[in-house]
Chain A
Amino acid sequence: MMGSENDDESHLHSSKEEMENLFLREDGDPLTINHVNGDKSNSNYRSAMSTLSDSRHPSIVVTPADSDPLFAPPSYYRESRSPRSKPNGGDRGSSYLEPPSYADVIFSPFDDISEINGSEDGGSRHSQSSDSLSRSPSSLSSDYIKITVSNPQKEQEATNSMIPGGSTYITYQITTRTNLSEYGGSDFSVRRRFRDIVTLADRLAESYRGFCIPPRPDKSVVESQVMQKQEFVEQRRVALEKYLRRLVAHPVIRNSDELKVFLQAQGKLPLATSTYVASRMLDGAVKLPKQLFGEGGGASSVEVVQPARGGRDFLRLFKELRQSVSNDWGGSKPPVVEEDKEFLEKKEKMYDLEQQIINASQQAESLVKAQQDMGETMGEMGLAFIKLTKFENEEAVFNSQRARANDMKNFATSAVKASRFYRELNSQTVKHLDTLHDYLGLMMAVQGAFADRSSALLTVQTLLSELSSLGARAEKLEAASSKVFGGDKSRIKKIEELKETIKVTEDSKNVAIREYEQIKENNWCEVERLDRERRADFLNMMKGFVVNQVGYAEKIANVWTKVAEETSQYGRESS
């Protein structure tokens, strides 16, 4: 997401060699000791920011391939259960310490290295976040469920076709670690392919209408060649992990059967790809009630509660379309107007919010890039001065040259130090501002929830107007038949059938209304929850961002203050 420039990588590679040669290590400068040695797995700099930022925010940072050999690689470890975070019973976001100086607290080196278990998954170098469910009211981080996606492997499609060598696909290992009782087990692992994720997402969408379901990763329309490429696979792995973690963070969806099955059932995923009977045909003559009957008779609430799908519910779609058109033209008015107004307002507010989140997240990306660039250029300048220092020292003839070389060396090492701080600042900034990115996904989920509501309403309205037209027909028939003395056998039969149809439609309508009400309530709960959580998440994001900026600014100020003092004999005028 937040890309970083890699174009200076090669330059830095060679510069790193130079730096090793050039650096005079006399002063025990931690800069030289740690980084000239190219210590790549240097975890000393896992910033305490991760403890101070929102510990329960399930977002994972997507790390670009920023393997910077010159400086410590940015550490994206999010430690939500480090000993430093305050336990907070239900308190949303204040796992904050109150340090006298942020610089001191934040940057004391960590001895807590326990969470660096990148070994268990070959693919994942980063994001070992454990998703503690401190969103639940009883949170003391005692309930937990942690999902890891790892170990992508190529597998062959088992096919009976005559074509030799079937197509290949990638499967991922999905490991769950939990102490939730619903899962009856603490550690399990399954293999799934992307298609299974799609199935899971579809099933959840059907079962949880009205809920803000996190959107699944996109299907990519790419060639199979690209699909195999490591970069694509890695991106997808990260996206899958993020998605699953979001799912288990949702208080309702976490307990869904579909998800449990997905995470636990070994072998092939036992979720149907569609609830619709496969044999249902495109049948224009099938009437709506019969569709709703299904094969077993009686109103199948499952189908009623699903929006009409193209192809299968041809007739229903047609009717609902007609209904929505007549709605638009003020034909038969929907039963409740008042609520809709509130709903429409809310919808518009959500839309505005989404636009602003998009904008803010774009500007956040620019900010990150600018910070990155600043750090890089500062470092390059420092290196150039280091070279100049070495040169002057080698060629010095006069004392003035040696003095200058000395000044330059202090300056250069400070520039390199400051550069490193900028980069660390940035990697933390990415973590915090990623909250904005995450909410983009959630806003999509909200849209989905609202869409569920609208389509449920449409179903209700369609049934209502169907009822009213059926009723009108029945009345007409009865009126006509009453004129025939003794009864009109054929008409009476028709009336009977019609009354039967009306009854079934009435039942369906009631089911649809119940469903609609349920969805409305789901909507409302979800939006409430989202608003609450978003407020907490955004506040935490801001706090994290700000504390981070303060800490690193203090560090950088210290570096330069020292240089200013060391060169104070040169400043004649104050400015």
Chain B
Amino acid sequence: MESTTEQPRNISGSMQSPRSPSSQPYLSVSVTDPVKLGNGVQAYISYRVITKTNLPDYQGPEKIVIRRYSDFVWLRDRLFEKYKGIFIPPLPEKSAVEKFRFSAEFIEMRRAALDIFVNRIALHPELQHSEDLRTFLQADEETMDRFRFQETGIFKKPADLMQMFRDVQSKVSDAVLGKEKPVEETTADYEKLKHYIFELENHLAEAQKHAYRLVKRHRELGQSLLDFGKAVKLLGACEGEPTGKAFSDLGTKSELLSIKLQKEAQQVLMNFEEPLKDYVRYVQSIKATIAERGTAFKQHCELAETTKLKEINLDKLMLTRSDKVGEAEIEYREIKAESEEATRRFERIVKRMEEEIVRFQEQKTEEMGVAFHQFAKGQARLANSVADAWRSLLPKLEASSTV
């Protein structure tokens, strides 16, 4: 997984044991302690980001900074700009339904997602060396604010809006230049990949939708068990023995199971539905990278084209011994350099993507495996609780009905 042009060392992150021997470089990050700051519409959550590291570029061994969501967005945007071709880890969504925005569950889910985000960057062989990461993890809050405002201005534009803007630009220029079809790579493998990614998003989104509904169903079942338990207890109060006691026991168990269902609902949300959502976001990040590659490819093609034209022109001028040769030669050299740079950029993206896709698939297999495992464990645990709870009523019920 190591890129040969960058630094060779692979820093271990917080996903592995932080207690690695001090000779081995490590970088471990955690996002903790969400605190609500500000009032009313201006209110936001701040997080403590704790960095433990022995890397020389960092102020070690431990540094704590305060960051808010938009700081994470800044980091993501910078990495996206600088490391084209790499699938930048996705962020949890910005907006949420107003009243839900500060609920304990939502805050915890977001914190967990942000923690995963930073750690993925810290683990990535290329991204972990990023200067912006260093800034993010080390700079004091004022400096961070300044960086953030500089980059995006007061009105923050999400990365994909920028991308759309660029796309429109290039489409316009294509139209102006009389090109009807946009220039695209058409290698079979890449086509396959693009198709795969786009289809995958649809499938994943549907699975995630049902997973979310399933969470709701758990909650609803829990609520109905609670109501049923209460009603049955009241009914028992009207009846003599042994029915009355039996109803009372039944109602109590029902209420108990209701609690277990609510707990499981939360587990499913955090350990299953959220990873699925993350998967979807990841695929969307890949789509953004695909778009970048498309842009890079187009630039590479266009510049190569332009270079060729300039070369032809230069040759012509040289033949006619025009006095414009000097100028033309300089122009030609400049364009050629730009073209080579564009080609290099494009090829770097291609290479990165090749590595990234392997990494992505392996990572996702692991993460989905964990998600399935957690879900299955949770469901088994729940079902066993249900069986145990109801089963405990049977001896008494048997005894009562033979009386």
Contacts and interface: CB of A to CB of B under 8 A. Distances in A.
Interface of A: 91-94, 96, 98, 102, 349, 352-353, 356-357, 359-360, 362-364, 366-367, 369-371, 373-374, 377-378, 380-381, 384-385, 387-388, 391, 395, 397-398, 400-401, 403-404, 407-408, 410-411, 414, 418, 531, 534-536, 538-540, 542-543, 545-547, 549-550, 553-554, 556-557, 560-561, 563-564, 567-572, 575
B384 interface: yes
A539 B228 contact: no
5 contacts: A96-B398, A359-B235, A370-B220, A370-B221, A567-B373
B361 interface: yes
Interface residues of B, number: 69
Contacts of A569: 369
Given A388-B207, A549-B390, A404 B368 contact: yes
Contacts of A549: 386-387, 390
Contacts of B223: 370
A512 B260 CA distance: 61
A181 to B, nearest CB: 31
Contact of B246 (A387, A542, A575): A542
B247 A363 contact: no
Interface in B373-403: 373-377, 379-380, 383-384, 386-387, 390-391, 393-394, 397-398, 400-402
Contacts of A352: 238
B312 interface: no
Given A539-B401, A550-B394, A359 B380 contact: no
Given A349-B238, A377-B213, A546-B394, A414 B366 contact: no
Nearest to A395: B196
A561 B383 CA distance: 10
A404 B372 CA distance: 10
Which 6 A-B residue pairs are closest in the complex by CB-CB distance?
A570-B369, A557-B383, A381-B210, A563-B376, A553-B387, A567-B373
Contacts of A380: 210, 213
- Chain B at the A interface: mostly helix, strand, loop or mixed? helix
A563 B387 CA distance: 19
B243 A538 contact: yes
B51 to A, nearest CB: 23
B18 to A, nearest CB: 15
B199 A567 contact: no
Interface centre among B207, B362, B394 (most CB of A within 10 A): B207
A92 B386 CA distance: 28
A560 B383 contact: yes
B370 A94 contact: no
A311 B402 CA distance: 52
B353 interface: no
Nearest to B251: A360
Contact of A570 (B203, B247, B373, B391): B373
B394 A543 contact: yes
Given A374-B221, A407-B368, A554 B387 contact: yes
B207 A381 contact: yes
Nearest to B203: A388
A371 to B, nearest CB: 7
B366 A570 contact: yes
Contacts of A539: 242-243, 246, 397, 400-401
Contact of B225 (A367, A377, A378, A542): A367
Interface string B177-214: 00000000000000010011001100110110111011
Contact of B234 (A359, A371, A398, A418): A359
Contact of B370 (A367, A387, A561, A572): A572
A543 B220 contact: no
Contact of A363 (B216, B228, B369, B384): B228
B231 A362 contact: yes
B218 interface: yes
Nearest to B218: A374
Contacts of A363: 224, 227-228, 230-232
A356 B234 CA distance: 6
Contact of B227 (A366, A397, A575): A366
B390 A398 contact: no
A217 to B, nearest CB: 25
Contacts of A410: 372
B69 to A, nearest CB: 27
Contacts of A91: 402
A373 B220 contact: yes
B235 A357 contact: yes
Given A380-B210, A391-B200, 19 more contacts: A359-B231, A363-B228, A367-B224, A374-B218, A388-B207, A395-B199, A404-B361, A404-B364, A411-B372, A534-B239, A535-B240, A535-B243, A539-B246, A539-B401, A545-B250, A546-B250, A557-B380, A567-B373, A575-B377
A543 B397 contact: yes
A536 B400 CA distance: 9
B386 A553 contact: yes
B123 to A, nearest CB: 15
B35 to A, nearest CB: 26
Contacts of B101: none
